[in-house]
């Protein structure tokens, strides 16, 4: 199977700059600057069908095409490496193992968009990844792949690494831009969308680490090659799946996008731990509704996962066995989101702590019969929050009510966890 992101990576350390060069690194940038126009690069990405790997799956080339070509002043590219979604650690693995790939991907993207200054916004705790990135940027600078007049093409680019002050909301692209500008990280009203009015009021593209790391391979090998990497004819490329929980071998893997859920768990993670049987999983990070055994054959790609009632999200798969209390698991997730609400809008600021309170009383055996309806109402009402944090937080609550309503009811009628937890 062809891979892009983890190709030739040593398992226990970062690829060195020399190893990256020896493996053809920066040749795609060199060739693109010598023989392609910015539009050619953008068209290759549009044709490749690449969809953003940060959670929403928005088509990458289409997002780039929203950047106005004729506005005066600078335009910016931001790489979103905030990665605070529980259960998600793919960007960290990628950055720690091959930061050069991201640097080349950002250089190609900046060339396509006419960007001369780009930023990498990185999670506070990712010190190793930030160190590796800064070193990769230094090497690229010294070799003439960053800085002014790159490879004699007239194209210039500076890359800055910005360590976040550390809140989940900073991953939301408009809150991220506020954080970069040094103001409080609340989300902004959309529209205007960042592609038109973003960082310091200028056109800005925000893309995820994994999204940008795919660009060199798309430009080097072409859209048809990239599309053919998927497990299904509708899909495009590979996907990083970072698996955790009750599997034998929790691991971050690059696999064809669209691979069935069961194959990820059984074939690539060694199945469940001894004594464990599969009860449920979060398929795409903490803000996605659960899957159960009935979803074992679902193709792990954006549309099939959505059709099956969840979201591919980040590809962070958290696996639960038969001993997991779904009320306790959901409460644990909601606690995180309630704590991380930025407080900007009322539904999220007030609603999430209230949902947490209801789940706490059910879990403690003091739930009331009406609690299930109250939770359902909140799944609906929190869709009207200002940004996607609160609707995402209600993903696991919605999944719990749809797939495990009997278990929730048993907590309420029995006054305790039916699993004895």
Ligand X SMILES: Cc1cc2nc3c(=O)[nH]c(=O)nc-3n(C[C@H](O)[C@H](O)[C@H](O)COP(=O)(O)O)c2cc1C
Quote the least distance from Cβ 286 to ligand X, whole Å: 10
Identity of the residue, 109 or 330, whose beta carbon is nearer to ligand X in the bound complex: 109
Quote the least distance from Cβ 66 to ligand X, whole Å: 12
Residues near ligand X (CB under 6 A) are 52-56, 58, 63, 80, 82-85, 168-169, 171-173, 206-208, 211, 387-389
Identity of the residue, 140 or 175, whose beta carbon is nearer to ligand X in the bound complex: 175
| b (16+ CB within 10 A) / e for 100-130 | bbbbbbbbbbbbbbebebbbbbbbeebeebb
Identity of the residue, 52 or 396, whose beta carbon is nearer to ligand X in the bound complex: 52
Quote the least distance from Cβ 285 to ligand X, whole Å: 9
Quote the least distance from Cβ 116 to ligand X, whole Å: 21
Quote the least distance from Cβ 212 to ligand X, whole Å: 7
Phi-psi region of 349 (alpha: psi -120 to 50; beta: other; left: phi over 0): alpha
Quote the least distance from Cβ 411 to ligand X, whole Å: 29
State the Cα–Cα distance between residues 184 and 394, nearest whole angstrom.
Answer: 25
State the Cα–Cα distance between residues 202 and 209, nearest whole angstrom.
Answer: 21
State the Cα–Cα distance between residues 40 and 215, nearest whole angstrom.
Answer: 13
**Closest C-alpha to 65, from 226, 196, 188:** 196
Quote the least distance from Cβ 287 to ligand X, whole Å: 8
Those residues with Cβ within 8 angstroms of residue 78's Cβ, 6 or more apart along the chain or in another chain: 118, 119, 120, 121, 173, 176, 177, 180, 198, 199, 204, 205, 206, 207
Cβ–Cβ contacts within 10 Å for residue 200, how many?
12
Identity of the residue, 172 or 371, whose beta carbon is nearer to ligand X in the bound complex: 172
Identity of the residue, 103 or 387, whose beta carbon is nearer to ligand X in the bound complex: 387
Cα 231 to chain center, whole Å?
A: 20
Identity of the residue, 80 or 98, whose beta carbon is nearer to ligand X in the bound complex: 80
What is the torsion angle, in degrees rounded to the nearest 10, for the CA atoms of residue 185, residue 186, residue 187 and residue 189?
A: -130
Taking every pair of C-alpha atoms in the chain, what is the biggest distance, in angstroms?
A: 74
Token reading at 373: 């309806």
Identity of the residue, 113 or 265, whose beta carbon is nearer to ligand X in the bound complex: 113
């Amino acid at each position: 199977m062809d891979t892009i992101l983890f190709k030739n990576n040593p398992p226990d350390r970062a690829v060195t700059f020399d190893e990256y060069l020896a493996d053809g690194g920066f040749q795609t940038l060199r060739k693109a600057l010598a023989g392609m126009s910015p539009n050619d690069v953008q068209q290759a990405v549009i044709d490749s069908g690449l969809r953003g790997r940060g959670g929403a799956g928005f088509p990458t080339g289409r997002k780039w095409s929203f950047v106005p070509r004729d506005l005066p002043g600078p335009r910016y590219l931001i790489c979103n490496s905030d990665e605070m979604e529980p259960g998600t650690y793919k960007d960290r693995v990628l950055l720690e193992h091959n930061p050069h790939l991201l640097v080349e991907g950002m250089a190609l993207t900046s060339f396509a968009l006419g960007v001369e200054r780009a930023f990498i916004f990185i999670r506070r705790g990712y010190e190793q990844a930030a160190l590796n990135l800064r070193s990769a940027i230094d090497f690229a600078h010294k070799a003439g792949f960053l800085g002014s007049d790159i490879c004699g093409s007239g194209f210039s680019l500076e890359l800055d690494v910005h360590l976040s002050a550390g809140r989940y909301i900073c991953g939301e692209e408009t809150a991220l831009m506020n954080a970069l500008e040094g103001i409080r990280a609340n989300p902004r009203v959309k529209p205007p969308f960042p592609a038109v009015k973003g960082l310091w009021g200028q056109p800005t593209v925000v893309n995820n680490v994994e999204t940008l790391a795919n660009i060199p391979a798309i430009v080097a090998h072409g859209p048809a090659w990239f599309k053919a990497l998927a497990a299904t004819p509708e899909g495009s490329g590979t996907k990083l799946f970072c698996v955790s929980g009750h599997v034998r071998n929790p691991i971050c893997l690059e696999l064809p996008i669209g691979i069935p859920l069961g194959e990820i768990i059984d074939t690539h993670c060694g199945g469940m731990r001894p004594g464990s049987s599969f009860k449920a999983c979060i398929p795409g990070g903490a803000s996605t509704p659960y899957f159960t055994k009935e979803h074992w054959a679902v193709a792990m790609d954006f549309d099939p996962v959505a059709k099956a009632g969840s979201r591919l999200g980040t590809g962070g798969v958290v696996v639960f066995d038969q001993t997991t209390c779904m009320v306790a698991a959901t409460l644990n997730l909601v606690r995180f989101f309630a704590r991380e609400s930025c407080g900007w809008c009322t539904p999220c600021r007030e609603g999430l702590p209230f949902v947490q309170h209801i789940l706490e009383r059910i879990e403690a055996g003091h739930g009331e019969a009406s609690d299930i309806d109250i939770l359902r109402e909140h799944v609906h009402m929190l869709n009207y929050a200002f940004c996607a944090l609160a609707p995402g937080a209600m993903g696991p609550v919605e999944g719990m009510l749809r797939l495990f309503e009997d278990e929730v009811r048993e907590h309420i009628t029995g006054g305790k966890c039916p699993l004895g937890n």
